[in-house]
Structure 1
């Protein structure tokens, strides 16, 4: 059997009375001497025989002491070849999927078979021959160095060592396209995004075989990821705060080095109403803080006014407010160029629900030379306002001096 060892034995009969005779044995196939020459051993061991080793074998016995040579009859030996069996086709990378531009290796193997084996590779169901190789091995490879989309097909192989070809099963090759650079877009409810808006960030690679894994970045921080099992793009929704202002990008990956989109900037603004509320709160706080002393100083005047009003009877007739009585300014030499003097005078109350108070505003100048002129025409510079408030029939309307 091909592929196995073979032992050749040369036998010769000698008379018993001559056991000390020296003999050399030689082995031949057809006319070719085998081994390294004649030896004293009657056996020749051949480690592995092949079909080509088939032929006529014979031997010679040379009796050295008698110079006598004996030749055997020829023996016809046919070395049988083991037919190939269990032919299979595998791919590298495994799984039958290869990225466009990569290398594809089709590996054809046989479980058994001896001698030289011829391997064939075919594409498509009609069997377009791609390659043929003959070698003494159980495995052979065919390589497509640069895979293209047209290489997405069915493949099979065959093996033959003289007993007829044996075929493998069909295997389908899928050629995948690497992702192109994705595009990141914003879908907003308005032209200018504000706090509280929900913005949709859509990332999509125009080209690439699924599945595609997408990742969203703000600067270099991953905000989320999403898988598109059937291709296309994915969307990420954000409810905006001021912290969402910044630079965004996305990444697409389908097994090859990932592709990153260009950076897109998102600006989130605070709504005008909300901004003014913040501003008003601050201003009101400062105003109230500044008005504290004014309110504190105004309270004694209110009590004094009530005392004056309380002394008048409810039956007094209404009369016109008294004319203002200008007074000289106490701040004539103060650092300010002008001082505003305010004078208060209560007036009669109607027998109704209102109390009236008259307030004078007198503008005084610092220049002593102009004082006399100012005092002469002070009535032209006097303005007055009348303030009123509702009266309540309670203890606050009683004269405080009487109450004391």
Structure 2
């Protein structure tokens, strides 16, 4: 290509003296157009081919921990598996702890965390809708592996997200898990034991939005003694580096438009009119675009695959990073329809987060690009005064997202802080 361009220039230079420069210039322009089209085609192939060739396999059964309790549902939802662990003297356990994992991961990763809490408390965990063994593709793969298969293709596990236009299916599973756990807690004890929820990232958004929806008279809301929010998804992501230069303007535009869409923000009238006009144009276009890109056929080549930078910002533990690289039960792709639905859920939650009144222990990193700190700061500013036991722990100058998977001693120190906060809550007056 380069040699061809040089030859064109030589020919053109000689042709000018022969009076045919005009035709040569036209030919060179044609060449330039062809070159541009070729570069655009190559760029398109670079974007498309990863989606086409993405293959993911699992070779070992799902990482189970604890006892499995199956929760059947009469409304047509699939069976939900609740994993439970109890201390040696389960009757004397003062409380129960429910673990709620984050986006595209699974509760099987939390085995060590569950064993830590089970020294004192009854512990349970479950897989979100479309995650882990709540994902039909992953469930079938696990069954095949436990039956003797050596390898299973789970590349299409992300397609379980095709029905997720919001987080309502995840909230339904949380509701089922919470109510079943309360039943199990009460079964082994003569008293109604309190409940704590430890929720990470997207799981924190699901938990917070679910608890706000509960009515005051609901018995469940009175049983929740406190919530531990770990890097909660109360803000949209901000990719770092060159990806951020490309993606962040669009992310911010979409979030700004969604925030103002049919919801005035007490702006001056000129700004109000501008924001509403921008939102009325932008939101329908982006909603339609994300929906179209999630259709069969298009989604197989346009669904984004989790980039390497995400793994680097999850934990500072090289051992844990190695586990993440080889964990086939993590869903590596995310349908754009689901991404847009999460954005809308964040916007909706922020409009009503001041109504969150349950005591909480909030933990976040100052420079986390996956769930940026401004979301947690806004939540704390709106709610910290509601309860005297509300506490905020900030990892200053930290950019890691999964605090329960940090390298030692930070990991154990955080677990101890969580237990201390829960013990304080158990002795605090109602």
With normalisation by structure 1, the TM-score equals: 0.18
Structure with max Cα Rg: 1
Per residue, is there more helix in 1 or in 2?
A: 2
Per residue, is there more strand in 1 or in 2?
A: 1
Q: Which has the higher contact order (CA 8 A, sep 6+)?
A: 2
